[in-house]
Amino acid sequence: MSKPGEGVGRRLIHINTSDRGGGVAEILNNVTRHDESRDFQSGWIVVDAPDDFYTVTKGLHHLFHGYGDTAVLSEGARIYRDVLHEVSRLLESEIRQDDILVLHDPQTLGLAVWAAQRGVPVYWHCHIGTIRSPAHVTDALWDFFAHDLRAVDAALVTEPRFLQGAQISRVLIVHPAIDPDAPKNVPLDTADVAEYLQTIGTNATTSTVGPAGRVWQDGPVPVDAPVVPQVSRWDPLKGIRDVLRVVERLDSRAHVVVAGPDPAEVLDDPEGVDQLNEALQQLRALPAQVRGRVHLIALSAQDRDLNALRVNALQRRADVIVQRSVEEGFGLTVTEAMFKAKPVVATRTGGIPRQIEDRFNGLLVEPGDDEAFIVAVNELVTDAKLRAELGAAAESSVRKGYLIDRLIRDYDLLRK
């Protein structure tokens, strides 16, 4: 467990289960960096837990998106509660009476009752959800978390409908945001981009392994080829298999890059390794001439800033960025792509349609609709004017609504 920052004043302490590889880690990294730079007291505690805890919380994550088996709620209850009880014991000496806690996602929600009993204000920031969940799944989830939800002062969420049916005293709408000055988004010139891509290995003639990560490919990404990346964790809900399934029918000039964090490093996501292996099997099954246009990348995040710069470079090298998620709480990768003035083809699911208005600042397709996805990507690959128009509108929408200053102000309201 990492330690909260020291200092005087009322501290806002964020608690989650991973310091890398996903949207929550991205947000907390940026928020706590900003707080430090303006002398605000804040802290970020990353909970360490045994693997079976993460197997349970991954099951919860899927249930929040309407997938998986509710049996995890009964079978996993004991490990979930026991581990968080142990975590709360360790937190006893770290948390002060005048601290404010923000618990992120279901992984840490189970700390709410302990915090409330200590008289510490506690908020739950829920980054995930769906409006399509079967009623029996949401009922079972809200039942499982009933005491925890009653203990929180408020839930923070992007889409209040994600919490439909839950008994929570207050729901505040807080949208995620990106930091334009963070390594993930700082401007990079063409030479920087080429250099970072070279360190990843996308210009190599074969698969590579290096400090930047692992690349599986039959050949390089040609300098002048249109590049179509999807950046996401190796998760069944990210639609990676849907992207790889249709590569053969995408414009034959386009090179598809699927990049995600090295799953061996993302400890709270136990499915990552299997999902990456599934993607590799799909890659190997492609006909040779199609396989040559596909590049799978597992990026190391041992050095968080370098990882971010490499993702930044991949996004900037892109001509069209795709996000074929089956479900998506918000989709920071979409925000990051739009901020870089890239045209995005993404699915109309979860938080994505909040960001993209179809044909105004990107293209939306239904999850699982291969035809629409192929037509949309191919249209953008061939139409430079449309790419530029959608990209410009995309950048300006992110600048209006999804920059970090706004999120910092939202969190500051909790300190009042």
Q: Name the site residues for ligand UDP (rule: CB under 6 A).
A: 21-24, 26, 184, 231, 233, 260-261, 299, 301, 307-308, 311, 330-333, 336
CB of 415 to ligand UDP, least distance (A): 25
Among 347, 405, 330, residue whose Cα is nearest residue 156: 330
Q: Which residue type does 168 have?
A: I
Q: Which is nearer to ligand UDP, 28 or 311 (CB)?
A: 311
CB of 156 to ligand UDP, least distance (A): 15
CB of 6 to ligand UDP, least distance (A): 27
Q: Which is nearer to ligand UDP, 150 or 304 (CB)?
A: 304
Q: Which is nearer to ligand UDP, 109 or 299 (CB)?
A: 299
Token readout for 62 is 């899927």
Q: Which is nearer to ligand UDP, 21 or 66 (CB)?
A: 21
Q: Which is nearer to ligand UDP, 110 or 261 (CB)?
A: 261
CB of 381 to ligand UDP, least distance (A): 23
Token readout for 130 is 């769906």
CB of 114 to ligand UDP, least distance (A): 26
CB of 237 to ligand UDP, least distance (A): 8
CB of 178 to ligand UDP, least distance (A): 7
CB of 249 to ligand UDP, least distance (A): 25
Among 26, 125, 59, 79, residue whose Cα is nearest residue 269: 59
Residues 6+ apart with CB under 8 A from 75: none
CB of 144 to ligand UDP, least distance (A): 21
Among 108, 142, 146, residue whose Cα is nearest residue 125: 108
Residues 6+ apart with CB under 8 A from 379: 363, 386
- CA-to-CA distance for 238 and 247, rounded, in angstroms? 16
- CA-to-CA distance for 28 and 104, rounded, in angstroms? 10
Q: Is the dihedral of CA 180, 184, 185, 189 positive or negative?
A: positive
End-to-end CA, the chain: 28
Q: Are 266 and 16 in contact (CB under 8 A)?
A: no
CB of 121 to ligand UDP, least distance (A): 25
Residues 6+ apart with CB under 8 A from 153: 121, 122, 123, 169, 170
Q: Give the CA diameter of the chain.
A: 63
Q: Which is nearer to ligand UDP, 114 or 196 (CB)?
A: 196
Q: Are 330 and 280 in contact (CB under 8 A)?
A: no
DSSP-derived 3-state class of residue 248: helix
Q: Which is nearer to ligand UDP, 42 or 230 (CB)?
A: 230
Q: Are 281 and 320 in contact (CB under 8 A)?
A: no
Token readout for 373 is 């996805």
Among 257, 238, 252, 251, residue whose Cα is nearest residue 380: 251
Q: Which is nearer to ligand UDP, 351 or 391 (CB)?
A: 351
Q: Which is nearer to ligand UDP, 299 or 322 (CB)?
A: 299
Q: Which is nearer to ligand UDP, 200 or 290 (CB)?
A: 200
Enclosing H/E stretch for 15: strand 12-16
Among 231, 225, 242, 220, residue whose Cα is nearest residue 321: 231
